Chain A
Amino acid sequence: MNRIQIVLLTIIGAGLWACSSVSPLYVQTDKIEVNTSTQKDSVLASFIEPYRDSLALEMERVIAYASDDFINKRPVGALGNFVVDQTMQYVVNKQLVQRDDYICIMNFGGLRAPINKGNVKVGDIYKLMPFDNTIVLLKLPAKRISDIESYLRNSGGEPVGGFQLTNDSFELNSNKELNDTLFVITTDYLANGGDRMNFFKNSYEKINTGIFLRDILLEMVEKKDTLVSYVDERIKL
């Protein structure tokens, strides 16, 4: 491009710019962290206070002590293990099932808060399981296992129990032979196909116990003095 062309194109460019129907809108952005470096608005804080007080009476009640943090992690986390194993234990204790080959599948996204090291209060269990999810018992065609496997491989893991999944195998913890039926404990949310666990839509028996998962956790935690976290290899991808 020679100098004359450059000058010419500059003039054309300037002309086009001047004729432009577009007007500029300049944008500046900021992300403001909300933390204790900002003082609370005192009027709003006192408005909230009575609501907090009446909640606190119940929610601040200490029901156990956690010796570690229980974190929600994929493929396996201490939080998921705890929720699943306590639920399975509860179901057995209450004789809701009469078999030892039930598996349990919950969803990573459904566990909404960790259990932090220290005193565990009623409110912590509410934060962990704020949803009014109930426990559902399913009978599923055993051939759906492949769907469950691929779902878990695809998602990177969910809170599960009663089986071990590795890269090339799926094994029930129970010694029972797997025949036509897979027995599953899950939540009403997932049993209805929530989080795209569509394989549950193929269940041929669905019993909603009507028992809130949160209430199960509250009852199980309250029975213990100390909660100890553990991470195993129930899913190893």
Chain B
Amino acid sequence: MERRIFLQHSMVLGTGLVLSPSLLAHPKQLDGLEKLTILHTNDTHSNIDTFPSNHSKYPNQGGVARRFSLIQDIRSSESNVLLLDAGDIFQGTPYFNKYGGVLEMKLMTKLGYDCCTMGNHDFDAGINGFKKAHEYANFPFVCSNYDFDNTDLKNVTFPYRTFQKGPFKVGVFGLGPELEGLVAKSNYQDTIYNDPISISNKWAKYLRYEEECDIVICLSHLGYKPKQNDMCDILLAKETEEIDLIIGGHTHTFLDKPEIHQNKKGEKVLINQVGWAGLALGRIDFYLGETKKHKRHELIMV
């Protein structure tokens, strides 16, 4: 990546442009390369059933049992699959009101989710409600900027997790929005919200250099775009280093494909978000050109 910056700031630019895209953009044989498939959802909001055919916006869309079929199809043809969610699993249908989030956790366990973060609505059953439902989840929650030490969620969530998928080591951490004004105090109690930027720089660097991750993913429930002076994924991408992919949520934004942003060092960061309610499943396939530890890989969209 240093090379790329150098090229952009020098006379070599002209020839570099002739040379590098032809070398980088056309891998000889994509099929032969090691492949990691990231599948992701966000803001599923207790939507378990497919929307009814008379739904005014999304008739016949969504549904956990259909999502599971798609995921199983992909798992049967791909060996390295990671299934992630960016929060707001709770709240939105009577399933949540009746079963308190337990059914959502049971289903996500059956779907084989590998890792999730908490959104603001995941506090809607209170700290203890989340903890109770969480007992039915056999996958970890990463909450890097919430300090739960003074609550019953202490040691229930993790600041980060790593996953070995074939040759890929993947680091995942998670961010949630400021809770004050967004969630009833009685529901988040003494949870402390920490600044997402400094937390991200700490854990992303740690995952890259200490854990030697090939890919660093941030599950973010901060929201896609700035709303007033809010923290958001675009700002997060710009102000941080060592994140490859931000899987977003909160704003229910439908991105057709991941956006490419520049991080603090001018490197590429992908931001993606797939709306809400499980209407779509995001898919990002990474093909590893060659493995180099302690090094960031240059992301090339093909």
Chain A interface residues toward B at CB < 8 A: 1, 6, 9-10, 12-14, 16-17, 19-36, 38-42, 44-45, 47-48, 51-52, 54-55, 59, 69, 71, 112, 114, 116-118, 123, 126-127, 130-132, 188-189, 192-196, 198
Contact = CB atoms under 8 A, between A and B. Distances in A.
B190 interface: no
Interface string B69-98: 110100000000000000000011111111
Contacts of A10: 15, 18-19
Contacts of B57: 114
Interface in B126-170: none
A28 B285 contact: yes
B9 interface: no
B32 to A, nearest CB: 12
List of 5 A-B pairs having minimum Cβ-Cβ separation, nearest first: A25-B297, A40-B65, A24-B289, A26-B287, A30-B283
Contact of B14 (A9, A27, A52, A54): A9
Contact of A27 (B214, B284, B292): B284
Given A24-B297, A27-B284, A44-B110, A130 B19 contact: no
Contacts of A130: 46, 91-94, 96-97
B300 A13 contact: no
A24 B285 contact: no
Contacts of B12: 9, 12-13, 16
Contact of A29 (B111, B257, B300): B257
Interface residues of B, number: 94
23 contacts: A9-B11, A19-B3, A20-B3, A22-B3, A23-B292, A25-B286, A27-B258, A28-B30, A29-B257, A29-B285, A29-B301, A30-B282, A32-B283, A44-B68, A51-B103, A52-B49, A55-B95, A55-B98, A71-B56, A114-B57, A116-B54, A117-B54, A126-B93
A42 B65 CA distance: 7
User: DSSP majority for the A interface?
Assistant: mixed
B65 A45 contact: yes
**Could you say which of A12, A40, A52, A130 has the most chain B C-beta atoms within 10 Å of its C-beta?**
A130
Interface of B: 1-4, 6-7, 11-12, 14-16, 18-20, 23-24, 27, 30, 33, 45-46, 48-50, 52, 54-57, 60-70, 72, 91-99, 103, 106-107, 110-111, 124, 181-182, 184-185, 214-215, 228, 244, 255-258, 270, 272, 274, 278-292, 295-302
**Could you say which of B14, B66, B274, B287 has the most chain A C-beta atoms within 10 Å of its C-beta?**
B66
A12 B215 CA distance: 30
